[in-house]
């Protein structure tokens, strides 16, 4: 992050310049033949009501959700533009902390790879709980540091050394270490919390560059990122992407 740049400014510029890059990586990653987006949808097979996709980005959740009513919300015009180009909709440009959705209007909400960065965290959780009908489901995926194989760890060590970062960091990292109590305060009861290693094939230079450029690296100078890309371009392998899926149910008022 350049001096004087906030996370919010960094995010805005990242998604304006690289709309759809998260989808480019995750739609190409699998674990047991399932992509992270399909994994996120699994708990929603029985849902027939409206599904709200919070921080939907380029809209990769739309297709795996199948034949349900869906609405995607994101604050980035360019991400929504890429979703619209792919024929995905309806889409609304809005802040997750101020959802333009009526109270208890949705039976399910999803949030792929954004809960770790949406701010203010409590305002977003409060909005998720407000728009969910009692008994409704909220499913989120976030990036984590395990499970990884030893070979993955060694590659990430090399990459992070080239980037001169100790790890990838996010505004809500501490809050998500053990989020049960925080979620419960908002009436969201955790019913499942799992991790899975997805495999991303670095088959060519383009795949390597996409992976490195998809990482949030605030404060890392452009030439360092270029060095990281050069390191990853030497790899011809699968690399692990460890993800965590948290499933919550909206408590029913007593």
Two tokens at 251? Answer: 């408590």
- By beta carbon distance, the residue nearest ligand SAM is 57
Are 146 and 198 in contact by the 8 Å Cβ rule? The answer is no
Per-residue x/- track, 27-66, ligand SAM (CB under 6 A): ----------------------------xxx--x------
Smallest distance, ligand SAM to C-beta of residue 150, A: 27
Write b or e for each residue in 75-104: b if 16 or more Cβ atoms lie within 10 A of its Cβ, otherwise e: bbebbbebbeeeebeebeeebbbebebeee
**Looking at beta carbons only, is 17 or 204 nearer to ligand SAM?**
17
Distance CA 155, CA 134 (A): 44
What lies within 8 Å, CB to CB, of 71 at 6+ separation is: 50, 51, 52, 53, 90, 91, 92, 101
**Looking at beta carbons only, is 50 or 91 nearer to ligand SAM?**
91
- Under rule CB under 6 A, residue 183 binds ligand SAM: no
- Cα–Cα nearest to 78, from 3, 6, 37, 22: 22
Could you say which residues in the range 147-176 bind ligand SAM, by CB under 6 A? none
Smallest distance, ligand SAM to C-beta of residue 243, A: 10
Per-residue x/- track, 72-111, ligand SAM (CB under 6 A): --xxx--x---------------xxx--------------
Smallest distance, ligand SAM to C-beta of residue 217, A: 13
**Looking at beta carbons only, is 60 or 179 nearer to ligand SAM?**
60
**Looking at beta carbons only, is 22 or 210 nearer to ligand SAM?**
22
**Looking at beta carbons only, is 100 or 135 nearer to ligand SAM?**
100
- Cα–Cα nearest to 134, from 114, 106, 160, 158: 106
In a 3-state reduction of DSSP, which class is residue 135? strand
**Looking at beta carbons only, is 122 or 189 nearer to ligand SAM?**
122
CB atoms within 10 A of CB 204: 11
Which of 29, 41, 117, 232 binds ligand SAM (CB under 6 A)? It is 117
Smallest distance, ligand SAM to C-beta of residue 38, A: 12
In a 3-state reduction of DSSP, which class is residue 251? coil
**Looking at beta carbons only, is 107 or 172 nearer to ligand SAM?**
172
Write b or e for each residue in 110-133: b if 16 or more Cβ atoms lie within 10 A of its Cβ, otherwise e: bbbbbbbbbbebeebbbbbbbbbb
- Cα–Cα nearest to 97, from 131, 63, 141: 131
Q: Which residues bind ligand SAM (CB under 6 A)?
A: 11, 15, 22-23, 26, 55-57, 60, 74-76, 79, 95-97, 112-114, 117-118
């Amino acid at each position: 992050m350049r001096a004087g740049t906030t996370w919010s400014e960094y995010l805005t510029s990242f998604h304006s310049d690289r709309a759809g890059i998260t989808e480019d990586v995750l739609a190409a990653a699998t674990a047991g033949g399932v992509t992270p987006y399909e994994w996120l949808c699994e708990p929603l097979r029985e849902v027939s009501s409206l599904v709200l996709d919070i921080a939907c980005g380029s809209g990769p959740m739309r297709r795996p959700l199948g034949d349900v009513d869906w609405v995607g919300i994101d604050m980035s015009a360019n991400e929504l533009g890429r979703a619209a180009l792919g024929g995905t909709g309806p889409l609304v440009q809005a802040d997750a902390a101020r959802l333009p959705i009526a109270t208890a209007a949705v039976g399910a909400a999803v949030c792929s790879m954004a809960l770790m960065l949406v701010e203010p965290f409590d305002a977003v959780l409060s909005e998720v709980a407000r728009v969910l009908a009692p008994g409704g489901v909220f499913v989120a995926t976030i990036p984590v540091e395990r499970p990884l194989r030893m070979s993955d760890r060694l590659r990430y060590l090399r990459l992070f050394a080239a980037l001169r970062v100790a790890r990838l960091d996010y505004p809500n990292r501490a809050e998500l270490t053990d989020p049960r109590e925080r979620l419960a305060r908002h009436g969201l009861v955790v019913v499942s919390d799992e991790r899975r290693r997805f495999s991303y094939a670095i088959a060519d230079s383009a795949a390597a560059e996409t992976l490195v450029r998809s990482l949030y690296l605030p404060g890392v100078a452009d030439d360092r990122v270029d060095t990281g890309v050069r390191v990853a371009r030497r790899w011809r392998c699968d690399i692990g992407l460890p993800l965590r899926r948290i499933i919550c149910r909206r408590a029913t008022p007593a």
